[in-house]
């Protein structure tokens, strides 16, 4: 059974099932998708960029990007339909980060892991204390 939620687009209260938007906003998005899809299906428009599609259809770039991320618009069919990397803003066709930003993130994670391992080794060395025992000789 669905739960009550606020629509992420219009903030209207609705019964949430699979989508995080209300029925009215869903219908608006579907109409926008159909408009973009019809525009891109024309042979002359298959090489259109995101700003060109946005200008010609009146659909926001964010919504077009959402369609691409949901794989409703395939960048393999529309090669120039790229959207900005979430970190640096360079155009990408898949994912959230460009290759350079993803590599940088992996390097940062790797160096952080190495630092954590060094700290762990130092703590282990501190915890290993040398203990000396002395024995009394029986007289």
Q: What's the pTM value of the predicted model, to 2 decimals?
A: 0.68
Q: Given this model, what pLDDT does residue 102 score?
A: 92
pLDDT tens digits, one per residue of 11-37: 998 888 888 889 999 999 999 999 999
CB atoms within 10 A of CB 48: 20
Cα angle 134, 138, 139 (rounded to 5 degrees) comes to: 130
Per-residue pLDDT for 139 more than 70? no
Least confident of 2-6, 53-57, 74-78, 135-139: 135-139
Q: Where are the domains of the chain?
A: 3-84, 95-126
DSSP assignment, residue 3? E
């Amino acid at each position: 059974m669905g739960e009550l939620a606020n629509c992420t687009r219009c903030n209207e209260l609705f019964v949430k099932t699979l989508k995080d938007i209300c029925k009215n906003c869903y219908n608006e998005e579907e109409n926008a998708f159909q408009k973009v899809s019809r525009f891109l299906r024309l042979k002359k428009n298959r090489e259109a960029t995101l700003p060109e599609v946005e200008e010609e259809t009146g659909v926001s770039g964010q919504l077009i990007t959402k369609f691409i991320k949901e794989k409703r618009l395939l960048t393999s069919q529309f090669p120039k339909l790229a959207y900005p990397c979430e970190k640096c803003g360079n155009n990408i066709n898949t994912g959230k980060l460009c290759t350079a930003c993803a590599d940088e993130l992996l390097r940062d994670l790797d160096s952080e892991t190495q630092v954590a391992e060094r700290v762990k080794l130092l703590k282990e060395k501190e915890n290993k204390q040398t203990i000396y025992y002395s024995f009394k000789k029986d007289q």
